[in-house]
Structure 1
Amino acid sequence: MRLHSLIAGTLAAASLLAGNVAHAQQSACLTEEELNSVITFTLPVAMESVMKACQPSLSPSGWFATKGPSLVQSYAARKQSAWPSARGALMKLGKGDEKMGQMVSRLPDSALQPFAEGIVGQIVADGVKPDQCVAIERAVRLLSPLPPENTAELISFVIVMAEKPKPGAAPAKSKLPICAAKS
């Protein structure tokens, strides 16, 4: 499971909260800051889903089993502060279906947040293959000393850099609707 593919799938599914993904990706893009807020909001549920999916493939005394829950807690501490921007980013992506977008925009956060988390959790769980669990656990262990805000920002940075066209090359058709960086 590539991180880029996971985040792309997460954003696509989350944008279903507010309408048509294909149209939304053509008409809206996320700034790096908006992407970062979506990642910050979804990181705790994504981590929990990875740990649950990998539990049968990893040692019960391994890093995920012993240190993972406290890492999820540290990520969760920033989740609520990221929600307003993450919600705005998801609504921005969902502008393709006006009727659905209006309906979803009227939902209270108490209904919308668990729905978004459920979608993200399922996408992540479905994307994890048992033979990837050792590598995922190692990557998370290596990232774990970083403060949660740095982890989310690093993931955003990697995604933006992966989406950036090479000099002289035509921009590739992106799976992620990332706005072009301002010069």
Structure 2
Amino acid sequence: MALGSAIAALGMAEVAAAQGHVCLSEREVTSLVTYALPVVMDSTMKTCRPQLSPQGWFATQGPGLVQRYATRKTAAWPEARAALIKLGGNDDKLKSLVSTLSDEALQPFAEGMVSAVVTKGIKPGQCKAIERATRLLSPLPPENTAELVTFMLVLADKPQVRSAVGASKSSDLPICPAA
């Protein structure tokens, strides 16, 4: 899933996964998703613009949806920031570097990474389906969408689900097993 990869690309998920000691709770993942959703949606719309109708849903309704989701970013940031630092795992240098960055420095870096991963991950043939899925999800409140994306990321990490859909690996995020 592009969103999971985008969040993982915030710089440290691979480090944490390799160390095997750090995982994120569903609440932490939801905070990251809530923070990243507006960037993911905006990057997706820009990437897909050449493939879609200028009178289509993304062109006419997408910017409003991005704005609606962006209103949740500020509230999600403190926990999303803590999750990013947590993803530094046992690498004290990396944790120290990230924890000393101001919000003004860390947020654009994190958003740039998410945007780059989304842009790289979308194939032109996927744009119509992505636009349709976004349209179908758009009536949901932002918090419900973030929870639904988290649920799908957690579900995608289950071996029986990966097997059923023919996926060979789990998400890029180290998600803690549910208690």
TM-score, length of structure 1 as denominator length = 0.88
> For the Cα contact (< 8 Å) 2:10–2:113, is it kept in 1?
yes
Alignment match, 2:135? 141
Aligned pair partner of 1:77 in 71, 74, 78: 71
Cα distance in 1 for residues equivalent to 2:24 and 2:88: 12
Cα distance in 2 for residues equivalent to 1:31 and 1:66: 36
Shift of 1:162: 1.8
> What is the CA deviation profile of residues 133-175 of structure 1, one whole-angstrom value per residue up to 9, with x for unaligned ones?
00000000000000011011011011112212439x9xx8633
1:115–1:133 Cα change, 3 Å: same
* Secondary structure class of the residue paired with 1:14: coil
Alignment match, 2:94? 100
Moved over 6 A (4+): none
Alignment match, 1:177? 174
> What is the CA deviation profile of residues 54-111 of structure 1, one whole-angstrom value per residue up to 9, with x for unaligned ones?
0000000000000000000000000110001101111111124211220221111011
Q: Which moved more, 1:108-117 or 1:21-30?
A: 21-30
Map 1:55-94; keep pairs closer than 5 Å: 55-94=49-88
> For the Cα contact (< 8 Å) 2:41–2:66, is it kept in 1?
yes
Aligned pair partner of 2:155 in 158, 161, 183: 161
How many residue pairs end up in the alignment? 171
Alignment match, 2:36? 42
Cα distance in 2 for residues equivalent to 1:67 and 1:40: 19
Q: Does residue 27 of structure 1 match 2:58?
A: no
1:53–1:23 Cα change, 3 Å: closer
Cα distance in 1 for residues equivalent to 2:94 and 2:84: 13
Q: Does residue 10 of structure 1 match 2:10?
A: no
Cα distance in 2 for residues equivalent to 1:47 and 1:80: 17
Aligned pair partner of 2:121 in 118, 127, 148: 127
* Secondary structure class of the residue paired with 1:15: coil
